[in-house]
Structure 1
Amino acid sequence: MKAAFIGCVDFSHDMLTRLLARGVEVVGVVTRRASSFNADFRSLAELTEPRGIPCLFVEGNDQNAITDAVRTWNPDVIFCLGWSFLLKPELLALPRFGVIGYHPAQLPRNRGRHPLIWALALGLDETGSTFFLMDDGADSGDIISQRRISITEQDDAASLYRKITDAAEDQLDDIILGLISGRLDRRPQDHARATYWRKRSRADGQIDWRMPVAGIRNLVRALNRPYVGAHCIWHGQDVKVWHAEPAAAASDLEPGRVIEVVHGDIVVKCGDGAVRLVEHEFPTLPHLGECL
C-alpha cells in the first residue's frame, strides 16, 4: 500500500511517524516550511529528508501544485492530518482508497474550527477522536474510526492534545490493517445532527473579569501551550495568562479588582468569586487594589 501524507503540525508529525514505524510505504509528503497561523506548526521535512521521501513545500492554499504532485506519486490513499484547508474534488478523487481526514470531536457534532480549544473553553467533560473519509464538505465524510475522549478538570490544551494523539495513534494502527486487507469499515454521518464551531478570533481569547471563575479558568486551560495563551489587557497591552485557579473573595468588590499579590501570584476579583493567576507574563506586578 502506497500512501501520500499532507500535514504541518505536531499532530501530523506524530501520525506520519506512526505510519513509517508501521512499515507503510510513504511515497510523498506535502507540508510547509513555516506557518503564521498554526500555533502548533511543525514541518515534516525532518522526517522526509533522511528517508529520501519526496516532499512538496506549499505556501497558502496552492492545491494545483498539491494535485500535480500527488498525481505523480500515484498513492493508494492520502492521509490529510493537520491541514487547515478543504481539498478540492479533483484531489480527493485521485487515490483509490480516498483521502483520510481527522477531527478531534464526536462527529457529526462539533465540526469546524478549533475543536480542542472550544471543548476546553466550554467546559465539556468529553470530546472525540474521529477519522473519516474526506468529501467536499467540512468534516462531513463517512466515519471510519471514532473514540470518546474524557476531559478532566486538570486537563489543559497540552494534556488534551496528548490524549487525542495517543488515541489517534492506536486508531491509525487499525486503519492501516483495514487498508491492507481492503476492508475499511465506514459509517455515514447523520447530517441532521451536525453542529459547527466557528473560527475563533483574538477577542475570544481575552479575559473579561466579569466572567465567572469557571469561565476564566476554562479559557486559560483552552489556550494553554501549544496554543497562543489567554490574555488580559493591562495598561493598554496584552498580558498572557497561562495558569489560573479559584480563590476566595468578598462579594462586594467589583470584577477586575486586584485583592492580593503574594510571591508573584495575583488574585483578581471576577464575576462570582476570584481567580489566582499562578503563571502569567505581567512585566511588573500590579498593585494591591488596582483595577485590571
Structure 2
Amino acid sequence: MERVRIAILGSSVPSFELADALIAAGCDVCAIVPPRGTLGGGVQRRAAARGLLVVDVGPSINDPATIAKLRALDAELFVNWGHPERFAADVLALPRLGVLNLHPGEIPGARGLEPVFAAILEGWPAVIQTAHLMSAAFDDGPIIRTRRIAIDDAPYRDVVEERLRDGAVGFYQSAVLDVLAGERGTPGAGPRRYFGKLKPDDDVLRWHEPREAVLRRLRALSPFNPGRSFVAGHSGPLLIWRAEASDAAAKAPAGRVIAAGDDELLVAAADGLVRITAYQLPPALPSEKLIGAELTSDQPR
C-alpha cells in the first residue's frame, strides 16, 4: 500500500474514529479540517490528543485563504465526512488522489441532501451507502465502494440513520485503503435522481393518500421532525411523532378523526385507519373536541 499524506475533512466523533483506524493501519493522517462553524474546544482537544493539525476553514472551505492552507498541507488524499459546502474545483484539484466522500445514498440514483427521506417516503427496500471520489457535479464521481442497508421493516428515520452509522467507520476505512491501493472507481449506472433540501410542506401529512403513504411520510420525518396536520378553526398544527395502522373497521372520509383520547387518536386515511400514538394538540384544543373533526393539509388562515 502506498503511504500518502491524508487530511480528514470533518469534525464529528466518527471522523476522529476514522482517523484512528487509518493511523492504526499505518496511514499518515496529517490534519483535521472541520466544517465552518464547528471548530470548538472538543475538536481541538481530540485533535491534540492525536497530534493532528487543525485547519480552520474560516468563512468557507472555498475561500482563497483556506485553499492556501489546504495546499500547504501537501496532502495527497482528502477524506470528507460531513462538510456541507459544495467544494470548488480549486479544492477538488489539490490532492493528487482526489477527494473521497461518504454519501448516504446510491449514485447517481439518490444524490442530494435527502436520500434517506426519499427512501423511506417511497418505500425503498434499502439505502445504498456510497464511498466515491468527488467530481464537479454534486454527489457524483467514480464509486469506490458501496454497502446495502436494509430498511424493509418500516423503520423510523432515527433507526435508518443509526444503521448508516453502524459500521460506517470500517466501511469508509476500507474505501480509503482501496484508493491507496490504486482503485480509481467506476461511474454509477442508472437513472439520475436528486433529492434536495426538504420543502416547507414536506412535513404535512396528506390524509387523502393511502394509509401506508401517510405512515411512510411520518417515518421519514420522525423523531427529528414531527408530521403536521391542521384542524379547521385552529391556526396551530397538530404535531404527530408516532402512528401505526389500525385494524378497526370503522369507515369515514379521509382525514376524519374517529376517536380521541389522552393516549391516541384514530384518523381515517384514504383506505384505512391510522392510530396516532404520540402527538401534541394545537393550543387550547382538548382531545375530545377532535372527535368528528377533519384533519387537513391546508393551514387555516
Q: Same fold judged by TM-score > 0.5? A: yes
Alignment of 1:95-106 (within 5 A): 95-106=95-106
- Would the aligned equivalents of 1:105 and 1:127 in 2 still touch at CA under 8 Å? yes
How far off its partner does 1:252 sit? 4.3
C-alpha separation in 2, matches of 1:118 and 1:239: 23
C-alpha separation in 2, matches of 1:50 and 1:200: 33
Report the counterpart of residue 37 of structure 2 in structure 1.
33
1:94-114 deviation line (CA, Å, top 9, x unaligned): 011110112212222122230
1:230-273 deviation line (CA, Å, top 9, x unaligned): 22224212333211101145564122221112342111111111
1:164-222 deviation line (CA, Å, top 9, x unaligned): 12243221221233345x323511233x6322234320211111221221111111111
Report the counterpart of residue 298 of structure 2 in structure 1.
none
- Would the aligned equivalents of 1:206 and 1:231 in 2 still touch at CA under 8 Å? yes
Partner-residue secondary structure (3-state), 1:254 = coil
- Would the aligned equivalents of 2:61 and 2:67 in 1 still touch at CA under 8 Å? no
C-alpha separation in 2, matches of 1:122 and 1:229: 18
Match of 1:46, as an amino acid?
A: G
How far off its partner does 1:142 sit? 0.3
C-alpha separation in 2, matches of 1:121 and 1:278: 20
Partner-residue secondary structure (3-state), 1:253 = coil
Alignment of 1:170-249 (within 5 A): 170-180=170-180, 182-190=181-189, 193-225=191-223, 227-234=224-231, 235-248=234-247
How far off its partner does 1:121 sit? 0.9
Match of 1:135, as an amino acid?
A: S
Match of 2:37, as an amino acid?
A: R
Identity of aligned residues (%): 23
* 1:51 aligns with one of 36, 43, 47: 47
How far off its partner does 1:88 sit? 0.8
CA shift in 2, pair 1:145/1:63, >3 Å: farther
TM-score normalized with structure 2 length: 0.82
C-alpha separation in 1, matches of 2:227 and 2:10: 26
How far off its partner does 1:158 sit? 1.0
Question: Considering only CA atoms, is the larger Rg found in Structure 1 or Structure 2?
Answer: 2
Report the counterpart of residue 40 of structure 1 in structure 2.
none
Partner-residue secondary structure (3-state), 1:204 = coil
Partner-residue secondary structure (3-state), 2:260 = strand
The unaligned stretches of length 5 or more in structure 1 are 35-42
- Would the aligned equivalents of 2:62 and 2:91 in 1 still touch at CA under 8 Å? no
C-alpha separation in 2, matches of 1:267 and 1:239: 13
2:289 pairs with 1:289: no
Report the counterpart of residue 6 of structure 1 in structure 2.
9
- Would the aligned equivalents of 1:210 and 1:255 in 2 still touch at CA under 8 Å? yes
2:79 pairs with 1:75: no
1:85-142 deviation line (CA, Å, top 9, x unaligned): 3211110010111101122122221222301111001111112010100010022200
1:15-57 deviation line (CA, Å, top 9, x unaligned): 33222344252413122336xxxxxxxx675233343331425
TM-score normalized with structure 1 length: 0.84
C-alpha separation in 2, matches of 1:203 and 1:111: 21
The range that moved more, 156-165 or 102-111, is 102-111
CA shift in 2, pair 1:231/1:59, >3 Å: farther
Partner-residue secondary structure (3-state), 2:258 = strand
- Would the aligned equivalents of 1:17 and 1:47 in 2 still touch at CA under 8 Å? no
The unaligned stretches of length 5 or more in structure 2 are 296-301
Report the counterpart of residue 38 of structure 1 in structure 2.
none
Equivalences, count: 278
CA shift in 2, pair 1:160/1:44, >3 Å: farther
- Would the aligned equivalents of 1:268 and 1:274 in 2 still touch at CA under 8 Å? yes
Alignment of 1:111-190 (within 5 A): 111-180=111-180, 182-190=181-189
CA shift in 2, pair 1:149/1:50, >3 Å: closer
CA shift in 2, pair 1:14/1:28, >3 Å: closer
* TM-align CA RMSD: 2.5
How far off its partner does 1:7 sit? 3.8
